[in-house]
Amino acid sequence: MKRETKRSGVFTRRALLIGGAQIAALGALGAKLYQVQVVEGGRYATLAETNRISARLIAPPRGRLLDRAGALVAGNRLNWRALLIAEQTGDVAATLENFSRIVPLADHERARIERDLRRHRRFIPITIREFLSWEDMATIEVNAPELPGILVDVGTTRLYPFGPALAHIVGYVAPPNEADVAEDTMFALPGMRVGRAGVEKFHDQNLRGRAGAVQLEVNAVGRVIRELDRQEGTQGQDIGLTIDTDLQRSVLDRLGDESASAVVMDARNGEILAMSTNPSFDPSLFNSGVSQAQWAEWTKNRKAPLINKASSGLYAPGSTFKMVVAMAGLEAKAISPYDSVSCPGYLDFGDRRYHCWSKYGHGTMNLRDGIKNSCDVYFYEVARRTGMDRIAAMANRFGLGVPLAVELPGTRSGFMPTRAWRQAQGKAWNIGDTIVSGIGQGYMQLTPLSLATMTARLATGRAVQPHLTRTIGGVLQPGAKAEDWPSLGLSEKALHAVRDGMWAVVNEQGGSGPLARLAMPGVQMAGKTGSAQVRNVTREQRERGYKSENLPWEFRPNALFVAYAPADAPRYAMALVVEHGNAGAAAAAPIARDIMTDVLTRDPAGRKDTPSQRVADAAPRPQTSTSTSTSAPKGASQ
């Protein structure tokens, strides 16, 4: 019995020890479970979810650009691309090497990828290759285990349905640089683009939108199983332009192969209906990357296809400036419409002779005759009597040599010289400088856009500003009505006298621009020719029978024409420059006639289109020349 009692005591102690050990183990396990499930449950749930779900920000769709009737001029299309998330791969170099065996990467692409990897944080996706084909996407997906951190994604890329026809207005987008990312971290997202030129650049803030997000279910090797949730973010605002795309293409067709630019405006409110520059370029190339060969081709082209000549090209205005000189003289009372000047074909002043374009002279000229015949001697005398400072001040009132409110970065104001400007250079302003300024030569340099603005202000007497934006986010912008623009405060009698001379240029027998006459019953156009020299003509050259058409192309005078119509109720204004086209009467006037005829027939400012009617016709079409060769009548050289 005693032995049994002792044995029972040993068993009890062993049971207690084992039970205590079990209780301790279970307690430790319970404490750990409490720590994992309660205290750190949220963190581990997040980690588990991260192993299953990949969340990424996505670039928002860029806002659209539409013409005045709703036709799409800049939009978005789907773009399949390969992205790399550096933190999801142990060896970036090895992953890229495996990828290049599937989809070859050029040296410049590798350099760009390495630059992006250095620039961005490891959790930000880096674009490896855009515009993937279906075959490329399938191959990447099949080889996903060998490509950790690489995934196929769909985004958008910029689409320009009208291509070169609207390139200088719309501009283009390009991938962001370091400065852009520093300004806004959203630019680090794959697929983001920044406006680099034209309206795309001016309205970049409105067009950007706000980033969205996507959640993807992935497996252990990071392969996407399915998309769980997508929030597209906020698309950028749509911008409605004043441009009429049909008219824009028609103007380009009429310019043909000429190196030229033309601007057509609604004279009443300054809306730009067409702004054409020839030659042009394809803006979509900047979205995917311009090759060195293409860039070299553009930069070597002496006709400068990358420059918007309408808003940035600088030219001496020639005889198209004579209306401003006349208005300055009339407002200063230096002349009256009836004062006469005798033109023997030249004006001698001091020891220099200033020639008229007609070496035989025009006889006795008053204001109307001076504009009608584009008599240089008459305007030499008007400029001499008026003075350069008064002429420059009047030019500024007409929008010449001053900043214009058009929404195109890089638009140039041109240059209007003054006596003070010349004196600031330490040189004297000579009376001869004033005399040659009377015919739009000398130091002044103006753009076709400013000349169109001048013409619209002459036609209406209002200080209209040229502009390209009609709506932002569907909201009509100020300036759409004629009454939105103030009066220039000029004498209506003086304006009438100058307009009468412009009417005579085109419609009266003996005018300098008969080839601009409209063949539309009951509708007439008022205009002015211009021919601006780009180099001096010496006396010796004149004595030897100088002919500009025998010079090399780049030395020939520029041909210009400005006009408004209908003459009795101005609605449309335009300016045209044909580079090195010689005489405006022969080279520019017929083109201006055809353009204005088309404008009046279409009547874009008065037409009410249904947007859906135009969107369907937004596909680009090749440019074809419809120019015709017409010889100028004898004596018409301005």
Which candidate, 188, 207, 174, places its Cα nearest to that of 59?
Answer: 188
496-521 confidence digits (pLDDT tens): 999 999 999 999 999 999 999 999 99
Question: What is the number of alpha carbons within 13 Å of residue 604 lying toward its C-beta?
Answer: 29
Residue 289: CB atoms within 10 A of its CB come to 13
Q: Say how many C-beta atoms besides its own lie within 10 A of residue 105's C-beta.
A: 18
Contacts of 97 by beta carbon, 8 Å cutoff, 6+ apart: none
β-bridge pairing 65-66 and 53-58: unpaired
Q: Which residues contact 19 (CB under 8 A, 6 or more apart)?
A: none
Contact, 414 vs 332, CB < 8 A? no
- How are beta strands 239-241 and 65-66 bridged, if at all? parallel
What is the separation of C-alpha 66 from the centre of its chain, rounded to a whole number of angstroms?
14
Rounded Cα distance, 193 and 180, in Å: 10
What residues are paired with 355 via a beta bridge?
346
pLDDT score recorded for residue 165:
93
Contact present, 598 and 274 (Cβ < 8 Å): no
Q: What sign for the dihedral angle of Cα 327, 333, 338, 339?
A: negative
486, 463 Cβ separation under 8 angstroms: yes
What the chain holds in terms of domains, given with CATH numbers, is 54-241 (3.90.1310.10), 245-288+297-317+447-615 (3.40.710.10)
Cα–Cα distance between 80 and 422 in angstroms, integer? 59
Using alpha carbons only, what angle is made at residue 88 by residues 87 and 89, rounded to the nearest 5 degrees? 95
Distance (Å, rounded) from C-alpha 380 to C-alpha 375?
9
**Residue range 268-316, pLDDT digits in tens:** 999 999 999 999 988 888 766 667 787 788 888 888 888 999 999 999 9
- Residue 619's pLDDT is 39
Task: Fill in the DSSP letter of residue 35.
Answer: I
Cβ proximity of 406 and 545 under 8 Å: no
| pTM of full prediction above 0.95 | no
Residue 407 is predicted with a pLDDT of 94
What angle is formed at CA 213 by the lines to CA 208 and CA 217, rounded to 5 degrees?
Answer: 150
State how far Cα 241 lies from the chain centre. 11
Q: What is the pLDDT of residue 23?
A: 80
What is the crossing angle of helices 388-397 and 376-386, to 10°? 100
CA-based nearest residue to 54, from 219, 193, 169? 219
pLDDT < 70 regions, the chain: 1-11, 36, 39-56, 190, 214, 216, 218-225, 227, 232, 287-290, 537-550, 608-638
pLDDT for 271 equals: 96
Buried b (16+ CB within 10 A) or exposed e, 432-452: bbbbbbbbbbbbbbbbbbbbb
Among 256, 162, 287, 112, which Cα is nearest to 576's? 256
Helix or strand or coil: residue 223? coil
| pLDDT attached to residue 1 | 58
Phi, psi (deg, nearest 5) at residue 426:
80, 20
Q: Where are the beta strands (DSSP E) in 382-486?
A: 469-472, 475-476
